[in-house]
Amino acid sequence: MTALTPSKAVPAPGTDRPGRRASDRAGRILLAGAWTAAAIVAAPVLALLIIALGGDASTARHVGVNVLPRALLDTGVLLAGVAVVTSLLGVGAAWLVTAYRFPLRDLMAAALVLPLAVPTYIVAYVYVELLEPLGPVQTAFRAMAGYRMKAEYWFPEVRSMPGAILILGAVLYPYVYLTARALFAVQSANLLEAARTLGAGPWETFRTIALPLARPALALGLSLALLETLNDIGASEYLGVRTLTVSIYATWLNRGSLPGAAQIACVMLAIVVAILWMEARARGGRSFTGSMKRPRPVSPLPLPGAAGWAATALCALPIIVGFLAPVAFLAREAIARTLRAGIPDEIAAALGASLVLAGTATVIVVALGALVAAAVRLVRRPTVALLGRIAALGYALPGTVLAVGLLWPLAAVDNVVADAWRGVTGVSPGLILTGSGAAVVIAYAIRFLGIASGGIESGMSRISRHIDDAARTLGRRPGGVLREIHLPLARPALVSAALLVFVDAMKELPATLLLRPLNVDTLATLLYAQASRGAFEEGALAALAIVVAGIVPVVALMRVSSPATPPEAAAVEDAAGLARA
């Protein structure tokens, strides 16, 4: 950090007019940045409403009669099922590794986060390959049982609603696990021991003491899992579940009805608002619960013999289903095909496109996120805090909703630029943003801005405001304080935000699928196209590359999800923030 030296003369407060003008100028710049970020996030939502209202009565009638009933039913069942599975797996695993000591406990506690490294659509593709009639599982089953054809026996159908619920739940449960474990770890052992002294058994202690205290964390983790379920398109479509996201895609591209897609997106947006409202209501405005006056942390009870190994097996099962089995299949297919035919040119091209789009979006998002975080820190006004919250809402917008809402603003900008260019040169430049890589980058910027601004703001919040006051006393203006103090000290947060945004952009499928240029594929869209034509194994190398990229932030999640001590209960919020990414 640059050393602070006193200025030759420090004017009395209120007398430094040039300094005040510079301070006002820096504040105006930061305020303008916050307004810009909030406007960028709000624009597609407003445009979505305009597009939806622009549809005629026949479009609304068709959507209301033929599309919404089935889509709402499938979406509701899927969300309810995923909520149950993620709650059972996440809360159960978190309680086991926090309250009990059993073989391989520490390894299980860290590895339970690993399924977040594998996107839901990749896991769905893998299990269809593994469990289809000609896949290795049913082939081995027929060989052992003596069957010759599928008609001779019954086998669960993975392309079904129960299959989608189990697969999505097996991938998304770490959202609940992370926040639940962080809360269980900071609960006071005095409460739990008092319950045991009064005769409460393990189940009653968990049900009446631990679970109610962890309700805010559970609500946060569950809302994140449900938002990811709502955003999913690859897994749901491939498994035969016609959710609202799938219906938006089909209505826009297959039926050519943008107003119809916008109307479905508005319904989907209402569900997002409902999820966020229920999460806020369940949390009750609390970040964590329990006494913060250094209560004695929970001491794990030993589980001897068969009970201990049973706990190990229960924790290992979701790790195997959600991570190890899919990654092992991808590695085998990728190695076999690469050794036989080399790296296909289309995968190399898709990797290049992914790196360019994700890298460009990362630079823009981190710069804009730093600007928003600095505005919240230095311009201490309620309006700025509100703008910062609006800018962070992009993460809650599903990719399909964002893509539909962006089409009108992008077209408006294209029209303005084309008219201006045509007036000067007499030649129309055609579409500039719509259907270009810029549209994809803008979508990434809106969707992931909350990750960057929230992470950087969290990093800056750990810098004492007394340092700001001391720097101002020594003559530093807001721009100098930001440049010489905040950014250097918040460098870890900046790097973490850049990493998380880059990896999320590499994996993003719905927005990329709808906005990408023609004949340009990222790793995610290439994989989607190959799976759609029944050749997913040909994209195993692309899928493995996405998983390897996703491992990096998961390692950070493993570090954050280690048991917190009571004075370090902020780990709850850190785990939640990283989980959002």
Most confidently modeled range among 52-61, 117-126, 193-202, 383-392: 117-126
Can you count the helices (H) and strands (E) in the chain? 28, 2
Q: Which long-range contacts (CB under 8 A, 24 or more apart) does 63-71 make?
A: 63/251, 63/260, 63/263, 63/264, 67/247, 67/251, 67/260, 67/264, 68/247, 68/264, 68/267, 70/242, 70/247, 71/242, 71/243, 71/244, 71/246, 71/247, 71/264
Is the domain of 380 the same as that of 409? yes
- Average pLDDT taken over every residue of the chain: 81
Answer yes or no: is 563 within a domain.
no
Is the domain of 409 the same as that of 289? no
Answer yes or no: is 270 within a domain.
yes
Is the domain of 300 the same as that of 325? yes
pLDDT over 90 (residue 24) = no
pLDDT over 60 (residue 1) = no
Whether 205 contacts 195, CB under 8 Å: yes
Q: What are residue 5's phi and psi, to 5 degrees?
A: -115, 140
Whether 127 contacts 326, CB under 8 Å: yes
pLDDT computed for residue 298 by the predictor: 61
Confidence of residue 429 (pLDDT cuts 50, 70, 90): confident
Whether 124 contacts 234, CB under 8 Å: yes
- Domain end (from 342, 363, 398): 342
pLDDT computed for residue 560 by the predictor: 54
**pLDDT above 70 as % of the chain:** 81
- Domain end (from 302, 317, 342): 342
pLDDT over 80 (residue 446) = yes
Is the domain of 284 the same as that of 394? no
- Domain end (from 292, 327, 342): 342
Higher per-residue confidence, 75 vs 287:
75
Confidence of residue 81 (pLDDT cuts 50, 70, 90): very high
pLDDT over 90 (residue 357) = yes
Is the domain of 104 the same as that of 214? yes
pLDDT computed for residue 201 by the predictor: 64
Answer yes or no: is 319 within a domain.
yes
Whether 522 contacts 354, CB under 8 Å: yes
State mean pLDDT over 347-370: 92
Distances (CA, A) of 353 to 346, 358, 425, 514, 525: 10, 8, 32, 16, 11
pLDDT over 50 (residue 15) = no
State mean pLDDT over 232-255: 88
Higher per-residue confidence, 293 vs 442:
442
Is the domain of 314 the same as that of 389? no
pLDDT digits (tens, 9 = 90+) for 498-518: 888 888 899 899 999 889 888
Distance, CA of 70 to chain centre: 26
Whether 37 contacts 504, CB under 8 Å: no
Answer yes or no: is 562 within a domain.
no
pLDDT computed for residue 330 by the predictor: 92
Answer yes or no: is 67 within a domain.
yes
Measured CA to CA, the distance from residue 430 to residue 427 in angstroms comes to 9
Answer yes or no: is 224 within a domain.
yes
Choice among 178-182, 414-418, 522-526 with the minimum mean pLDDT: 178-182
Q: Which domain holds residue 475?
A: 17-54+343-416+428-534
Confidence of residue 572 (pLDDT cuts 50, 70, 90): very low
Confidence of residue 523 (pLDDT cuts 50, 70, 90): very high
Count up the domains in the chain and report the number.
Answer: 2
pLDDT computed for residue 186 by the predictor: 65
Gyration radius (Cα) of the chain, Å: 26
pLDDT over 70 (residue 194) = no
Is the domain of 446 the same as that of 299? no
Q: What are residue 347's phi and psi, to 5 degrees?
A: -70, -40
> What CATH number is given to the structural domain containing 377?
1.10.3720.10
Is the domain of 127 the same as that of 198? yes
pLDDT over 50 (residue 178) = yes
Torsion sign (Cα): 239, 242, 247, 253 = positive
State mean pLDDT over 202-219: 71
Confidence of residue 203 (pLDDT cuts 50, 70, 90): low
Answer yes or no: is 275 within a domain.
yes
Is the domain of 333 the same as that of 353? no
State mean pLDDT over 139-164: 87
Is the domain of 106 the same as that of 170? yes
Measured CA to CA, the distance from residue 469 to residue 380 in angstroms comes to 13
Answer yes or no: is 571 within a domain.
no
Secondary structure (3-state) at 188: strand
The tokens describing 220, both together, are 């946060």
pLDDT over 60 (residue 122) = yes
State mean pLDDT over 306-312: 93
**pLDDT above 90 as % of the chain:** 25
Measured CA to CA, the distance from residue 161 to residue 243 in angstroms comes to 11
Residues 6+ apart with CB under 8 A from 205: 192, 195, 196
Amino acid occupying residue 363: V
pLDDT computed for residue 296 by the predictor: 54
Q: What are residue 140's phi and psi, to 5 degrees?
A: -65, -40
Measured CA to CA, the distance from residue 269 to residue 275 in angstroms comes to 10
Is the domain of 274 the same as that of 367? no
State mean pLDDT over 386-398: 84
pLDDT computed for residue 195 by the predictor: 65
Higher per-residue confidence, 391 vs 341:
391
Higher per-residue confidence, 241 vs 383:
241
Confidence of residue 580 (pLDDT cuts 50, 70, 90): very low
Choice among 35-44, 73-82, 291-300, 558-567 with the minimum mean pLDDT: 558-567
Q: Angle CA(121)–CA(122)–CA(123) in degrees, nearest 5?
A: 90
pLDDT digits (tens, 9 = 90+) for 279-303: 777 765 554 444 444 555 567 788 8
β pairing state of 100-101 and 301-302: parallel
Measured CA to CA, the distance from residue 108 to residue 96 in angstroms comes to 10
Is the domain of 329 the same as that of 377? no
